[in-house]
Amino acid sequence: MYVGTLSFDLLLGDVRSLKEKRSVVRPIVAELHRKFAVSVAEVGDQDLHRRARIGLAVVSGDAGHLTDVMDRCERLVAARPEVELLSVHRRLHGDDD
């Protein structure tokens, strides 16, 4: 069994309130969950209206499949025009850990 985690640090575009922030972050979280069946949530910077941290986790029996899903998730977030992807932290845990 393999578990992969990703943490995205995002800079949001023209956002002036926490309400506007939610209208940007929620669709990203929902799309990641719907398209890739990953566990995903906003996990940090909730009190800052121009920054967001999104975390996700994936479980798979195959390390190659896990890496492919995480790559596709990263590409989806990076392609969103309303956010700038500042950094991505990736971890892969296997049975040997």
Three-class SS state of 15 = coil
What pTM value is reported for the model? 0.88
pLDDT at 95 over 90: no
In angstroms, the CA 56 to CA 75 distance is 14
What are the structure tokens assigned to 39, written together?
């566990």
Q: What is the pLDDT of residues 16-74, one digit of tens each?
A: 999 999 999 999 999 999 999 999 999 988 888 899 999 999 999 999 999 999 999 99
Q: Which residues pair with 75 in a beta bridge?
A: none
What is the model's pLDDT at position 48?
Answer: 87
For the chain, what are the domain ranges? 2-93
Question: Which architecture characterizes domain 2-93 according to CATH?
Answer: 2-Layer Sandwich (3.30)
What is the model's pLDDT at position 68?
Answer: 95
Three-class SS state of 97 = coil
In angstroms, the CA 95 to CA 97 distance is 6
